[in-house]
Every structure is written in structure tokens, then in C-alpha cells.
């Protein structure tokens, strides 16, 4: 991996640290504990190099690595976890894909901070990552991941979707149904006139509708707010959030509700009208359908 000084690159940053090192020093004594931790750090570093990663730095009992692709990073993380078991160690791993500043032999930027925060959230024996990494994983690896939670990270205004890599047999069996449900069921098709959009569960993006030219779907009507609503995937559900002045009228099973500066869980097939009731807004009705990926076959 060739890194020149002071330029931006899209890379995967991974932090891996040995859990409970303070307790090890107390339990085993300084020499034995340091020997065990050094062996664990060596296993982590070897797992990084085996997937063509680069070791950026070692800070105490934590290693910072970087990889070209999420596949390499996740496979390395799994190898770190399985190798640590042979040494009776538990490690926490967090990784994130994004733009970083490469400055000789170090990395800087928001993506580095996110990866570090994700590692701090991780429990011993756990591998956590973000939707940005999940989106770029090969299907075979992605199929062994599940969305864990949506949370705020220190220094970030927007919430972040946290995913877990299921690397051992117990967790794979436990969450098999949830993982299959996530990747087989969750896709949303949205129709507006002749336009059709498909919203992916792992994109990490928000689909926005409004008068603003930056919206994903622009509808230039005065009764529609500049950012009228957004649709996003959170906690295994598609959520429609209205932030408009006039609200969004939603038709569900023959009944119409007005959603105003609130949010609703989307399922099945539903129509909605922005800013006006259906009877006054025939030209700007939007429909959506939550679809199973098997429907494409």
C-alpha cells in the first residue's frame, strides 16, 4: 500500500484493542501479562498484514490499521478474533470506510475519529462497523452482518448506523434469521409519475423530497416545503420523517392520516400526498412499496 504525503484517499480504518489488559497485569503480574499482551498484539499485526493491510501505529494495547477495501478489513478482523481465542485474549474491533488524510505514515480526519469511536462501542469479542463499510462488502461477507443500532457519536451531529460482523458460529446461528430478513426483505420502491427510485437498506443515505434543488426528488410547488420529508433505513425499518409546514397526507388501508413534523414506519404498499389532501393534489401523488429482493427474480 503506497501512501504519499498529505492527500485524501478512501480507505478502511480499523482499531483493535485488547480488552481487560489492566486486569491481566493484576492477575498475572507485570512480566507474564506483558508477554501475553505482546503476543496478542503480534497476532493482531499479523492478521492485518495477511490481508494486505498496513499497521499505522500501536498505542499501548491498541493497534491502528488501514486497508484498501472493506472485505480485506473484515477478513482481517475475523482473523484477529479467531487468533486471539488461542491466546485466551478478547479484543474489541471497530472499522469504518471513508475519506482520510494520508500524511506520510499516519492518517487523520473524520473517518479516523469515527473508526475510533466505533471501536470504543465494541464489546470484547465483537467486530463493529458502519453502513459505509457494509455497502461495499461482497455479498458473501455482508450476509454475515446485521444492523445493531443507530446512535450518536461524540463530535457527530448526525446519528450513525452501527453494524456487527457475525464472525463465530454461535452469533451466526443466533442472528441468522435476522440477517436473512435484512438482506432478503428490505428494499423500498418509490414511484412518482414516470420516475421510479429504489432505496437500499445499506446505503446509509437519506432520500429527500422537497422544493430544494438538492433534494433527491424535486417537486416545485409552493405548498411543498423546501425539505418536505426524508426516508431512511433505521433499526431494520424504513422510516418516513415529515419536517414540512403543511404536512404529508398518507393513505393506509383506505384511511388517510396527516403526518406533520413526525415520523412513521413504512410497510406494504402506501400512497402519500405532500402538502395537500389527495383530492386536491392528483398530479403529485407518490406511491411506495417495501419489496422482497426475491421479487426481482
- Which domain covers residue 51, as residue numbers? 7-181
Instruction: At 229, give phi and psi (nearest 5°).
Output: -155, 165
**pLDDT value at position 288?**
87
**Model confidence pTM above 0.95:** no
**Same domain? 99 vs 229:** no
Of residues 128, 96, 79, the one with CA closest to residue 14? 96
**Same domain? 190 vs 212:** yes
**Same domain? 251 vs 280:** yes
Q: Look at residues 114, 147, 181 and tell me which one is the last residue of a structural domain.
A: 181
**pLDDT value at position 233?**
78
Question: What is the domain-level CATH number for residue 232?
Answer: 2.60.200.20
**Same domain? 220 vs 175:** no
Residue with cell string 434469521 = 177
Can you tell me the distance from the alpha carbon of 223 to that of 245, in angstroms, rounded to the nearest whole number? 8
117 burial type by CB count under 10 A (0-12 exposed, 13-18 middle, 19+ buried): buried
**Residue 29 counted as domain residue:** yes
Can you tell me the distance from the alpha carbon of 60 to that of 220, in angstroms, rounded to the nearest whole number? 56
Sequence-separated (6 or more) residues with CB below 8 Å from residue 188: 198, 199, 231, 238, 266, 288, 289, 290, 291
Q: Look at residues 181, 196, 217 and tell me which one is the last residue of a structural domain.
A: 181
**pLDDT value at position 4?**
53
**Number of structural domains found in the chain:** 2
Can you tell me the distance from the alpha carbon of 265 to that of 250, in angstroms, rounded to the nearest whole number? 12
Can you tell me the distance from the alpha carbon of 154 to that of 156, in angstroms, rounded to the nearest whole number? 6
**Same domain? 103 vs 223:** no
**Same domain? 101 vs 34:** yes
Sequence-separated (6 or more) residues with CB below 8 Å from residue 276: 223, 246, 249, 284
User: Could you tell me how far CA 284 lies from the centroid of its own chain?
Assistant: 32
**Residue 121 counted as domain residue:** yes
Sequence-separated (6 or more) residues with CB below 8 Å from residue 149: 161, 162, 235
Question: What is the domain-level CATH number for residue 80?
Answer: 3.30.70.1230
**Residue 202 counted as domain residue:** yes
pLDDT tens, residue by residue, 241-273: 999 999 999 987 677 889 999 888 787 788 999
**pLDDT value at position 246?**
94
**Residue 216 counted as domain residue:** yes
Q: Which residues of the chain have pLDDT under 70?
A: 1-5, 169-186, 201-205, 235-236, 253, 281-282, 292-297
**Same domain? 169 vs 215:** no
**Residue 2 counted as domain residue:** no
3-class DSSP state of 138: coil
**Same domain? 168 vs 243:** no
**Same domain? 231 vs 103:** no
Of residues 238, 245, 249, 237, the one with CA closest to residue 278? 249
**Same domain? 194 vs 173:** no
Q: Look at residues 150, 181, 212 and tell me which one is the last residue of a structural domain.
A: 181
> Residue 75 in contact with residue 51, Cβ under 8 Å?
yes
**Residue 87 counted as domain residue:** yes
**Residue 246 counted as domain residue:** yes
**Residue 160 counted as domain residue:** yes
Instruction: Please give the full DSSP string across 26-83, using - where no structure is assigned.
Output: HHH-HHHHHHHHHHHHHHHHHHHHHTT-EEEEEETTEEEEEESSHHHHHHHHHHHHHH
Can you tell me the distance from the alpha carbon of 185 to that of 200, in angstroms, rounded to the nearest whole number? 11
**Same domain? 56 vs 153:** yes
Task: Name the DSSP class of 89.
Answer: -
**pLDDT value at position 242?**
94
**Same domain? 259 vs 141:** no
**pLDDT value at position 13?**
95
Amino acid at each position: 500500500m503506497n501512501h504519499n504525503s498529505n492527500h485524501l484517499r478512501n480507505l478502511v480504518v480499523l482499531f483493535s484493542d485488547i480488552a481487560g489488559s489492566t486486569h491481566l497485569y493484576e492477575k498475572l503480574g507485570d512480566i507474564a501479562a506483558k508477554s501475553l499482551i505482546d503476543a496478542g498484539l503480534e497476532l493482531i499485526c499479523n492478521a492485518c498484514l495477511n490481508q494486505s493491510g498496513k499497521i499505522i501505529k500501536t498505542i499501548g494495547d491498541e493497534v491502528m490499521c488501514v486497508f484498501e477495501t472493506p472485505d480485506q478489513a473484515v477478513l482481517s478482523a475475523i482473523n484477529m478474533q479467531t487468533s486471539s481465542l488461542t491466546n485466551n485474549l478478547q479484543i474489541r474491533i471497530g472499522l469504518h470506510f471513508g475519506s482520510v488524510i494520508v500524511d506520510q505514515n499516519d492518517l487523520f480526519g473524520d473517518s479516523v475519529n469515527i473508526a475510533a469511536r466505533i471501536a470504543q462501542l465494541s464489546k470484547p469479542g465483537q467486530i463493529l462497523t458502519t453502513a459505509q463499510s457494509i455497502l461495499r462488502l461482497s455479498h458473501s461477507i455482508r450476509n454475515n452482518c446485521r444492523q445493531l443500532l443507530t446512535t450518536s457519536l461524540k463530535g457527530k451531529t448526525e446519528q450513525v448506523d452501527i453494524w456487527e460482523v457475525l464472525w463465530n458460529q454461535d452469533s451466526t446461528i443466533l442472528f441468522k434469521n435476522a440477517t436473512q430478513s435484512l438482506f432478503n426483505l428490505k428494499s423500498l420502491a418509490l414511484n412518482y409519475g414516470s420516475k421510479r427510485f429504489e432505496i437500499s437498506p445499506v446505503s446509509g443515505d437519506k432520500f429527500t423530497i422537497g422544493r430544494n434543488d438538492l433534494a433527491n426528488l424535486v417537486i416545485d410547488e409552493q405548498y411543498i416545503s423546501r425539505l418536505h420529508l426524508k426516508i431512511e433505513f433505521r433499526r431494520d425499518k424504513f422510516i418516513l420523517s415529515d419536517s414540512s409546514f403543511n404536512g404529508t397526507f398518507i393513505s393506509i388501508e383506505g384511511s388517510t392520516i396527516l403526518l406533520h413534523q413526525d415520523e412513521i414506519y413504512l410497510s406494504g404498499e402506501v400512497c402519500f400526498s405532500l402538502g395537500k389532501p389527495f383530492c386536491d393534489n392528483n398530479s403529485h401523488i407518490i406511491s411506495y412499496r417495501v419489496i422482497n429482493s426475491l421479487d426481482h427474480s
